[in-house]
Amino acid sequence: MRGFSRKNYTIILYIESVITAKKVMFLFDKKNQMLKTEEIKKLQWQRLKKIIPYAYKNVPDIMKKFNEANVKPEDVKKIEDFAKIPFTTKDDFAANYPFGLMAVSRDKVVRIHASSGTTGKSKVVYYTQKDVDTWTDLMARLYDCAGVTNKDIVQNMYGYGLFTGGLGFHYGAERIGAMVVPAAAGNTKRQLTLMKDFGTTAIACTPSYAVYLCEAARVEGYNPKEDFKVKAGLFGAEPWSEEARTKIQDTFGLKAIDCYGMSELYGPGVAAECQEQNGLHAWGDQFYLETINPDTGEVLEPGKEGELVVTMLTREAMPILRYRTRDLSRVVWEECGCGRCHPRIMRIKGRSDDMLIIGGVNVFPSQIEHVLMQTPELGDQYQIIVTHDKLDKLHVQVEIAPDIAANKYFDLKKLVEKVERDLLSILSIHTTVELVQPGTLPRSDGKAKRIIDKRKK
């Protein structure tokens, strides 16, 4: 060891640190994030021309659909022809469960995931190594949008397992070079301890869990802004309101970034807000987006609200053409203040499956959340119960805020009347409101289950 001086050791450490920094740079390339509109559109067309025949040739169910619709891949000669291609629907996953949509031989598949099955049978999805790499790169973009770097400590509170949230947010954080705390979902007390002890600077979880964390932090005696260092939050996997965002941001002093995706389209990572918080950048080099009229299937003009239909542009193991997401939104193609030119999805109002039809009137749970969350006398937890007794009935159970619960003289009857009035003015239908004690409604560490529709058998 005589020749190995302290100086040599310092040089080795320096070289290692340069290699690590370079590795992060190589692993995470910003180029695709910053493509210009024309470049994205050109790339989309090039990739569509490849993926259409690839899907047709390799997935029997897709070929069958083309044949039934009397369409051949070569019929798509220009982008306008793309509307001729048959849709893929959620039912196609059920019909091909579990491996029927695989476009490669089984030995090329390195991972599977399955959706939580919020709306019926679970959907199984598959990835080649290249698919996992592409997905990871998209997840890294989400962190980049949220301002998270290799200096950050990311506490990932999404569920690990078949659900795509856990591993998706985990791999993305590693690719950006951050230090990941794979805390997984649940055990709220421990989550808070980890956040404090490790000095977590970014958190990833469902927005409903983040709202619950606000409450839990206070109950556990923390002063969130002082005790924690969290500056960024990546929240997604379910719809959430602007009021919920304000609550989370104000409690922790963080910037709350909305992230959108679904298992069928890799998982989370389809789109994310940037620091401007003005629509979610949907990565046009990997996804081709359309909006359609959900009743007729007709393609809408750009910017009009409708059902999002997504085509995956480079997926190997499971190419998906014109997937009907059932999510309602609109897509705008304008350069964002951050310089990114990818199309933006405006905040998802909810999925058409979640829309309640109460006596013929369309009601989105997010509209109800909007009213409840802007009433300071109420807590954050609520449940929507729909029944039918001659007519459809909408009933909302909501917790009162702890300080109101402690005040014996507070006029709860007046509060009920006020909330019922506010709901009537937003929804145009009468709702009955029931106040319950704090801490009595179920909390969830994943996607919140807010609706109990007793009309469905």
Query: Which residue, 153 or 318, has its beta carbon nearer to ligand ADP?
Result: 318
Angle at the Cα of 423 (from 422 to 424), degrees rounded to 5? Answer: 90
Out of 270, 313, 336, 394, which residue is the one contacting Zn ion (CB under 5 A)?
336
Omega before residue 98 within 30° of 0, cis: yes
Distance CA(429)–CA(420), nearest Å, equals: 10
State which residue, 192 or 320, has the beta carbon closest to ligand ADP. Answer: 320
Among 33, 136, 201, 325, contact with ligand ADP (rule: CB under 6 A): 325
Rg (alpha carbons) of the chain, rounded to whole number: 24
Tell me if 366 sits within 8 A of 241, measured CB to CB.
yes
CA distance 152 to 73: 46
What b/e string do you get for 274-295 counting C-beta neighbours within 10 Å, with b at 16 or more? beeeebbbbbbbbbbbbbbebe
- Taking the least distance from each CB to Zn ion, the nearer of 166 and 172 is 172
Give least dist CB 337 to Zn ion, A. 6
**CB of residue 425 to ligand ADP, shortest distance in Å:** 24
CB 138 → ligand ADP: shortest distance, Å?
A: 14
Window 274 to 293, contacts with Zn ion (CB under 5 A) = 274, 276
Q: Cβ 258 to ligand ADP, closest distance in Å?
A: 5
Identity of the residue, 208 or 263, whose beta carbon is nearer to ligand ADP in the bound complex: 263
Residue 161's contacts (CB-CB under 8 Å, 6 or more residues apart) are none
Contact 207, 236 (CB under 8 A): yes
Binding part of the chain for ligand ADP, among 109-117, 146-154, 224-232, 377-385 by CB under 6 A, reads 109-117
| Residue span binding ligand ADP (CB under 6 A) among the ranges 149-157, 177-185, 261-269, 392-400 | 261-269
**Residue of 237, 309, 400, 448 that binds ligand ADP (CB under 6 A):** 237
381 half-sphere exposure, CB direction, 13 A CA radius = 20
For residue 266, the one-letter residue type is: Y
Total site size for ligand ADP, rule CB under 6 A: 19
Of 328, 348, 363, 368, which lies in the binding site for ligand ADP, with binding defined by CB under 6 A?
348
Q: Which is nearer to ligand ADP, 229 or 322 (CB)?
A: 322
Element (H, E) at 180: strand 179-181
Q: Is 146 an interacting residue with respect to Zn ion (CB under 5 A)?
A: no
Beta bridge partners of 125: 113
Structure-token match 């040599």, residue found: 8
Given Zn ion, ligand ADP, none, residue 351, with its beta carbon under 5 to 8 Å by kind, binds ligand ADP
Answer for which of 144, 243, 258, 290 binds ligand ADP (CB under 6 A) is 258
DSSP bridge pairs for 289: 310
Residue 154, SS3 per DSSP: strand
> Where on the chain is the footprint of ligand ADP (CB under 6 A)?
115-119, 236-239, 258-263, 325, 327, 348, 351
> Where on the chain is the footprint of Zn ion (CB under 5 A)?
274, 276, 336, 338, 340
